[in-house]
Structure 1
């Protein structure tokens, strides 16, 4: 490998990580896929590759497909709800393009878990990276016509389950702050007004730490659950507002350790209708 080849790969690294993360939903596994792609890039004659970007996209997608197929049984046996490992940034930081994209939201990534590996690959490549069907077909070993049908079915599935609303960034920020205030004040009435009547709360402890083993449904049950958690919080617990997968959220610390990362989706009434809480330490090891 020539020095220029290393530079070319590094120019692609952020995009490749974004692809792998959307495919796998975990930071560590996505980084592994990118590193494996780098090793393969190191071993080929780059001068013989007409389109390095397309080559690396193909390598990473196929590596992710293999990883998804092998991870299916593990996820089926997972303790409690499975949530993606969050990408956390400072609240007012200028986010890399991989974190600004709405296709990275926790809500969407949760929905993508229900797709088959090939459906997920086709959806991510088409919707997330605007890759043409002929190229996608070569990557996933299907015909272009078949890929169009796969994408159509995947979009229908995602659209039916991933509701996106026209809430502005400022409105999202205000909603999360009001949620934090209501929790800290222990105010059930205020908290209840912030939650949709049919809200759902998902907690991912992975069997490693205490967490709700099933989703919690409904405003009243979620309110009781959250205020119960707040009453049990240690005195050295603190909340830090952050960006989670590009959306407003917060991190809870106990002393200097990350205890959990919270993110939200809201409805057109400006209420929270889905809460995502990642507590599994294995999914938070990259969070500082």
Structure 2
């Protein structure tokens, strides 16, 4: 890392490269590995022949991610239970974030690797299709078609009703209080009729293997959890915006146990995303305010 920081060009571009790799792969650890590999290739490159370092490095990261996606998809086919992307905390500076939310990240999983790359590079990271063409090795016209197909698949995953950060965290606070104190009436008032609860334990901690669909199923689950929380309290660390959604981080038994992100539309929670797989929470520990 010290060597990277000593290179002003790579150091400046690194956060954006990590974000691109994370959006491509859904894994913080894999994104960091990809960017480290890109750094080694940058070191070996003839910098005098590189006219646009940003475009050069985006191309390297994109191609490395496309290669990684092949093995990542095989791993996810064998994944135990619901798969969720590793949680990341959005910066408070809106200009430093993008408009990709957790539901959209999950929808990206259903795209082909090339559709995913074309959509992210053009629609999210603002590259023109000539540069996208260079990055993924397809004609510009083909890249337009790839991005268009991706948009068509992602329409339903895009938020229909934007919610402000402050209001979202206010509702997350109400959800945490109701769910941890066992106030089922207050909790019911927060949930939509078609709410879905996803829990990702990766087969390493106890979680439901399938989503809980509908208000009745969600309420039954939280009634059971309320009894667990009375016996083993779930302690709040802090509230945060997690992959574009309001949520919070909790501790159980002295360890970071879960991130919870809430998809909210028209003041109602329509989806709850609980990440409990300890492998996906390792990077969270270093980002927790003390």
Please identify, of 244-253 and 199-208, the stretch whose mean Cα deviation from structure 2 is larger. Answer: 244-253
Deviation per CA, 1:163-200, whole angstroms, max 9, x where unpaired? 33122222212211111121123122211111110111
Equivalent residues of 2:169, 2:240 under 8 A apart: no
Using the TM superposition, give the Cα deviation of residue 243 of structure 1 relative to its aligned residue in structure 2, in angstroms: 2.8
* Local SS of the residue matching 1:130: coil
Give the unaligned 5+ runs of structure 1. Answer: none
How far did 1:231 drift? 1.2
Report the counterpart of residue 111 of structure 1 in structure 2. Answer: 107
Aligned to 1:254: 252
CA contact 2:165–2:241 (8 Å) conserved in 1: no
Q: Which residue of 2 aligns with 1:44?
A: 45
Aligned pairs for 1:85-164 within 5 A: 85-88=86-89, 94-95=92-93, 97-98=95-96, 100-103=97-100, 105-164=101-160
1:197-208 to structure 2, matched below 5 A, reads 197-208=193-204
**2:278 aligned with 1:277, yes or no?**
no
C-alpha distance 112-183 of structure 1, shift in aligned 2 (>3 A)? same
Native 8 Å contact 1:111 1:162 kept in 2:
no
Matches within 5 A, 1:16-55: 16-55=17-56
Residue by residue, what CA displacement relative to the aligned partner does 1:196-255 show, whole Å, maximum 9, x if unpaired? 101111110111111110111001111110221121134453023233124321111024
Q: 2:197 is paired with a residue of what secondary structure?
A: strand
Question: What is the alpha-carbon distance in structure 2 between the residues aligned to residue 204 and residue 23 of structure 1?
Answer: 19
Contact 1:186 1:230 in 2 (8 A): yes
- Show the 5 A alignment for 1:46-65: 46-65=47-66
Q: How far apart are residue 15 of structure 1 and its match?
A: 0.5
From the superposition, tell whether residues 209 and 139 of structure 1 become closer, same or farther in structure 2 (CA, over 3 Å): same
In structure 1, C-alpha distance between the alignment counterparts of 2:226 and 2:18, rounded to whole Å: 36
TM-score (normalised: structure 1): 0.92
Whole-Å separation in 2 of the counterparts to 1:206 and 1:59: 30
- Whether 1:14 aligns to 2:12 is no
Tell me the CA shift for residue 49 of structure 1: 0.8
Residues 239 and 253 in structure 1, CA contact (< 8 A), matched pair in contact too: yes
CA distance in 2, matches of 1:208, 1:185: 26
- Normalization by structure 2: what TM-score? 0.91
SS of the residue aligned with 1:265? strand
Q: Quick one: structure 1 residues 193 and 57, their matched pair in 2 at CA, closer, same or farther if it must change by over 3 Å? A: same
- Return the alpha-carbon distance in structure 1 between the equivalents of residues 66 and 151 of structure 2: 19
Partner of 1:77: 78
Gaps of 5+ in 2: 286-290
Is the Cα contact below 8 Å between 1:202 and 1:277 reproduced in 2?
yes
Q: Number of residues paired by the alignment? A: 281
Q: Secondary structure at the match of 2:283?
A: coil
